[in-house]
Amino acid sequence: MRPGRLTATALASVMSLAALCSWTVPATALTTASAPARPGAGHQVEVFAEDGSISRAQVPAASPYTAPQSLAGPAEGDGTVTPVVHGGDTAGKLDVVVIGDGYTAAEQQKFLADAAEKWREITAVEPYATYRALFNVWAVQAVSAESGVSGDPDRSTVRQTALGSYFWCDGVERLLCVDTDAVDRYAAKAPQADLVLVVANSAKYGGAGYNDVVSPLGYSGIATVAGGNERSGQVAVHETGHSLGKLADEYSYDGQGTYQGEEPAESNITTLTADGLRRDRAKWYRWLGRTSPDGGTVGAYEGGGYYPAGLYRPTENSIMRSLGREFNLPGREAMIAGFYRYATTLTSPTPTTTLLTPADRLTVDLPAPGTRLRWYLDGREITSLRDHAAIAVSDLHLTGPKRLRHRLTAVATDPTTAVADPELRRSLTDALSWDDTRRRPTTGRTRQAGRT
């Protein structure tokens, strides 16, 4: 979380691809959870099958197909940063960095088109669809000497590229790995990196989720996708469930036995049944019995966190269990909270250090739909300006000695019903203040700030 940021919560609905209703994967695919990988060490990644099922594998951090920096670095256009979506200053937005691999200098326009398409796929899913105005998206051009990536179309295909992307990682055809140090070098070129997505120049289905990566740049997790495959965007959506929503995987492995540990920290898995959740007023108890956008009713379904028994998940089959699905209601709430760890409900192009004068016009940006806005002068509400996103300072009718300084404050609240937790709801409010050198209004009803 960036300094001075508020946290928050919640969610909404949809994307249709085809999905799997129930499935299992061999126990041999399981690797034990580990601490964040050290630079140069291996990573535990998620593997995504075409039927929507998800498994895990241990892979190296480096790639044998990464082009030497002396070849990749000096290429024309290498490292160029292009805003795909510029919602506002990085201090008030969640910044997504998209890096291309396997695109030559002549193919950089293709990369930019693929990056925009992947973002369109991601924001077709709720709660991204509702909250897309909270984001900046930066495309970083990594120029490769060769077009395409290793392992496409077959295992014998080898191409040296800027990030060393390759299929058949760990012997799994659909697993698309990268050199994580190279990713970090390119991500550092963007103004800010909160999420990182690598788009490979390939139409072959595949991807990987590096959810154990902890970068000094501040982002956690990398998702890799095939730029030319229309279904690969769901890989990135699932991965952000980990990095933004702090959600656990809801799938399990055959032969893993019954979970015997303590109550997990993640908000979407529990050792409690539905009755236990109600009794203890724990985790997603507020959502129990509600119809969920991923299908069915919120309850406590056994199996999750890689165990077929002993742990429960909120719904039968959300996107945290298999691709092609939506976030369930508790998952949406967690995702909205994740959005607001980086972004705010209120921004303005006018710096708060600006000393306002009657000639100024003040505007604010309210990225969440339906956001309530209130204006206060010296702590008292100016009710005539409710929900006005643009005001003229002269409308405050300020009079009196110019040497007297007063404070104008805008307070915004996201009223979403996708957040049920009262504590999280309180975090959906943000404020900005500016100084003015005139006296308070001589007319107009006022109300004390912070009261309703």
Q: Please tell me whether residue 331 adopts helix, strand or coil conformation.
A: helix
Predicted pLDDT of residue 220: 81
The residue length of the chain stands at: 452
Predicted pLDDT of residue 70: 54
Question: What are the pLDDT digits (tens) for 174-205?
Answer: 999 999 999 999 999 999 999 999 999 999 99
CA 317/CA 229 separation, integer angstroms: 23
Burial of 170 (0-12, 13-18, 19+ CB in 10 A): middle
Give the end-to-end CA distance of the chain in Å, rounded to a whole number.
Answer: 30
Q: Is the pLDDT of residue 74 over 70?
A: no
Q: Is the pLDDT of residue 352 over 50?
A: yes
Residues of the chain above pLDDT 90, percent: 68
In order of start, what are the domains of the chain with their CATH numbers? 1-344 (3.40.390.10), 355-448 (no CATH)
246 within 8 A of 272, measured Cβ to Cβ: no
Q: How far is CA 168 from CA 47, 205, 323, 408, 427, in A?
A: 11, 12, 20, 59, 44
Query: Would you place residue 349 in the very low, low, confident or very high pLDDT band (cuts 50, 70, 90)?
Result: very high
Predicted pLDDT of residue 413: 97
Give the phi and the psi of residue 286 in degrees, each rounded to 5. -65, -20
> What is the CB-side half-sphere exposure of residue 365 using CA atoms within 13 A?
17
Predicted pLDDT of residue 280: 98
The per-residue pLDDT of the chain, averaged, comes to 85
Residues in contact with 337: Cβ distance below 8 Å, sequence separation at least 6, in sequence order: 7, 8, 9, 10, 245, 419, 424, 427
Question: What are the pLDDT digits (tens) for 368-383?
Answer: 999 999 999 989 999 9
Predicted pLDDT of residue 452: 35
Question: What are the pLDDT digits (tens) for 46-66?
Answer: 878 877 788 888 898 899 999
Question: Mean per-residue pLDDT for 404-409?
Answer: 84
Helix (H) / strand (E) element for 84: namely strand 81-85
Q: Which residue has the tokens 């695109």?
A: 103
Give the phi and the psi of residue 139 in degrees, each rounded to 5. -95, 125
Q: Of 190, 174, 176, 93, which Cα lies nearest the Cα of 139?
A: 190
Give the phi and the psi of residue 292 in degrees, each rounded to 5. -100, 145
178 within 8 A of 63, measured Cβ to Cβ: yes
Predicted pLDDT of residue 402: 55
Query: Would you place residue 394 in the very low, low, confident or very high pLDDT band (cuts 50, 70, 90)?
Result: confident
Predicted pLDDT of residue 364: 96
Query: What letter would DSSP give residue 290?
Result: P
Of the two residues 50 and 311, the one the predictor is more confident about is: 311
Question: Mean per-residue pLDDT for 62-73?
Answer: 74
- CB burial string 227-246: b at 16+ within 10 A, e below: bbbebbbbbbbbbbbbbbbb
Query: What letter would DSSP give residue 437?
Result: S
Predicted pLDDT of residue 384: 92
Q: Give yes or no for a cis peptide into 127 (omega within 30° of 0).
A: yes
Predicted pLDDT of residue 42: 82
Question: Mean per-residue pLDDT for 311-340?
Answer: 96
Of the two residues 438 and 224, the one the predictor is more confident about is: 224
Q: How far is CA 245 from CA 44, 86, 266, 329, in A?
A: 19, 23, 9, 12
Q: How far is CA 303 from CA 19, 29, 32, 99, in A?
A: 18, 17, 17, 35
Question: Mean per-residue pLDDT for 11-22?
Answer: 28
Predicted pLDDT of residue 190: 97
Query: What letter would DSSP give residue 67?
Result: P
Least confident of 19-23, 314-318, 360-364: 19-23
Q: Is the pLDDT of residue 442 over 70?
A: no
For the CA atoms of 181, 206, 269, 325, the dihedral, rounded to the nearest 10 degrees, stands at 140
Predicted pLDDT of residue 404: 67
411 within 8 A of 387, measured Cβ to Cβ: no
Q: Of 130, 108, 117, which Cα lies nearest the Cα of 225?
A: 117
Of the two residues 69 and 351, the one the predictor is more confident about is: 351
Question: What are the pLDDT digits (tens) for 126-163?
Answer: 999 999 999 999 999 999 999 999 999 999 999 999 99
